[in-house]
């Protein structure tokens, strides 16, 4: 049994606060080498403090997007793996299309009370490079130094920028046509091979690029795979359409001898022909 560090809540003039940084730092120390059970336990621990609450929190609407102070209802908390960088995602279903907020563990979350079902007011953004303390709401106290995990964007090369999340369900649909041809058990859920959310960027002029990582255990394969035959499989599922071209490329493929698995990164390029 893992002992979770006690959650610190304090009373202030503006209400209660929950120090996400403490739980998240403890989670990061524990998750290395642990399994899905640990991840779910911390999701439940954090969710127990925030689910069903109206909160004001420092967050973004996508990985490495602009950071703002949002006010919203929390219906669920998930811990998602962004290329070995775990992020805390709060889910809000008060709008027809559910929203996801990427919480910043370095800032305490103000608990305003029970969920209200009201839409979030328009927040003020904190621009990249701007000192976040300058735009921070008075009630949003910064957590102690050392409790905030690093966030590094996934890089194919040295380009920088802001990205949207690429959903796991979308990745599953992308890989299913070719993965089923090499699996020992083709009925295996594609999600088992997906490391976490991918990232998505609109390059303009009708071109959108997505990137995602896979981890494929060697014993799950029905035959040997090499970079060349993976490239061939990706080329076969690429499509030239009447309105949009979809092209898959192998960015990298390397063995993880410790876990006897393949680590694969795939790029998907979608180009609008209209």
Residue 147: inside a domain, yes or no? no
Is the same domain home to 100 and 16?
Answer: yes
Domain finish residue from 99, 126, 153: 126
**DSSP letter assigned to residue 71:** E
Q: Is residue 1 part of a domain?
A: no
Residue with tokens 């194919």: 156
Residue 98: per-residue pLDDT: 82
pLDDT at position 146 over 80: no
**Are 201 and 112 in a shared domain?**
no
The answer to whether residue 159 sits within a structural domain is: no
- 239 with 185, same domain? yes
On whether residue 158 sits in a domain, the answer given is no
Across residues 27-48, what is the average pLDDT? 77
Q: Are residues 20 and 116 in the same domain?
A: yes
Describe the chain by its helix, strand, coil percentages, rounded to 5: 20, 40, 40
Could you tell me if 8 and 22 are in contact, meaning their C-beta atoms sit under 8 angstroms apart?
A: yes
Average pLDDT over residues 17-31: 76
Give the residue among 192, 251, 259, 264 at the shortest CA–CA distance from 225. 264
Residue 147 pLDDT: 35
| pLDDT for the residue numbered 21 | 79
Q: 210 and 265 in contact (C-beta within 8 Å)?
A: no
pLDDT at 88: 92
For residue range 209-223, what is the model confidence (pLDDT) as tens digits?
A: 999 999 999 999 998
Within-domain flag for 38: yes
The rounded Cα 91 to chain-centroid distance in angstroms is: 12
The pLDDT score that the predictor gives to residue 56 is 93
Domain identity same for 88 and 172: no
Q: Look at residue 244 in the predicted model and tell me its pLDDT.
A: 85
**In terms of domains, do 15 and 111 share one?**
yes
> Is the separation of the CB atoms in 80 and 168 below 8 Å?
no
How many Å apart are CA 105 and CA 22, to the nearest integer?
8
Question: Which one has a higher pLDDT value, 71 or 107?
Answer: 71
Distance separating alpha carbons of residues 73 and 135, to the nearest angstrom: 22
DSSP 7-63: PPEEEETTEEEE-HHHHHHHHHHHHTT--HHHHHHHHHHHHHHHTTEEEEEEEESST
Residue 132 falls inside a structural domain: no
Q: Which long-range contacts (CB under 8 A, 24 or more apart) does 94-102 make?
A: 94/118, 94/119, 94/120, 95/119, 99/61, 99/72, 100/61, 100/62, 100/165, 101/57, 101/59, 101/60, 101/61, 101/70, 101/72, 102/59, 102/60, 102/61, 102/62, 102/63, 102/65
Q: Which is higher by pLDDT, 123 or 251? A: 251
Are 14 and 121 members of one domain? yes
Tally the domains of the chain: 2
Task: Answer yes or no: do 89 and 176 share one domain.
Answer: no
pLDDT band at 174; cut points 50, 70, 90: very high
pLDDT band, very low/low/confident/very high, at 12 (cuts 50, 70, 90):
very low
| pLDDT the model gives residue 35 | 60
Strand partners for 70 = 57
Same domain, 169 and 264: yes
pLDDT for res 101: 92
Which tokens go with 6?
């006690």
pTM: 0.46
Domain holding 245: CATH number? 3.30.980
192 three-class SS: helix
264: helix, strand or coil: strand
What is the average pLDDT across 202-207? Answer: 85
- Say if residue 108 is in the same domain as residue 19: yes
Tell me 190's DSSP state.
Answer: G
The answer to whether residue 170 is domain-embedded is: yes
Among 80, 110, 126, give the residue marking a domain's end: 126
Do residues 13 and 121 share a domain?
yes
Lowest mean pLDDT among 82-86, 156-160, 191-195, 256-260: 156-160
pLDDT digits (tens, 9 = 90+) for 223-273: 889 999 999 999 999 998 878 899 999 999 998 878 789 999 999 999 987
Predicted local confidence at residue 230, as pLDDT: 94
Q: What's the chain's average pLDDT?
A: 77
Domain end point (choices 107, 126, 145)? 126
Least confident of 80-84, 151-155, 196-200, 218-222: 151-155
Q: Residue 265's pLDDT is what?
A: 94
For residue 265 the two structure tokens come to 């990164």
Residue range 103-116: mean pLDDT, rounded: 89
Residue 145 lies in a domain: no
- Domain of residue 16 covers 9-126
Assess whether 169 and 262 both reside in one domain: yes
Instruction: Specify the pLDDT at position 86.
Output: 78
């Amino acid at each position: 049994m893992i002992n979770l560090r006690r959650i610190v809540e304090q009373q202030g003039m503006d209400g209660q606060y929950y120090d996400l940084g403490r739980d998240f730092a403890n989670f990061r120390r524990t998750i290395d080498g642990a399994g899905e059970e640990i991840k779910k336990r911390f999701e439940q621990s954090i969710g127990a403090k925030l689910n069903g609450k109206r909160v004001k929190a420092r967050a973004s609407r996508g990985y490495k997007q602009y950071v703002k102070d949002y006010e919203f209802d929390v219906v669920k908390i998930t811990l998602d793996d962004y290329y070995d960088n775990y992020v805390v995602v709060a889910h809000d279903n008060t709008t027809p299309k559910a929203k996801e907020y990427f919480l910043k563990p370095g800032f305490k979350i103000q608990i305003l009370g029970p969920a209200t079902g009201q839409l979030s007011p328009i927040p003020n953004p904190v621009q990249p490079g701007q000192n976040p303390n300058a735009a921070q709401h008075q009630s949003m106290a910064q957590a102690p130094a050392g409790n905030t995990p690093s966030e590094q964007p996934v890089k194919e090369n040295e380009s920088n920028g802001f990205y949207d999340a690429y959903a796991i369900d979308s990745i599953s649909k992308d890989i299913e046509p070719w993965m089923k041809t090499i699996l020992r058990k083709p009925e295996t859920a594609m999600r088992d091979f997906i490391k976490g959310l991918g990232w998505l960027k609109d390059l303009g002029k009708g071109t959108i690029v997505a990137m995602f990582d896979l981890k494929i255990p060697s014993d799950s394969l029905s035959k040997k795979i090499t970079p060349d035959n993976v490239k061939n499989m990706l080329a076969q599922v690429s499509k030239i359409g009447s309105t949009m071209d979809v092209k898959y490329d192998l960015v990298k493929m390397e063995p993880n001898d410790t876990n006897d698995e393949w680590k694969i990164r795939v790029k998907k390029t979608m180009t609008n022909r209209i």
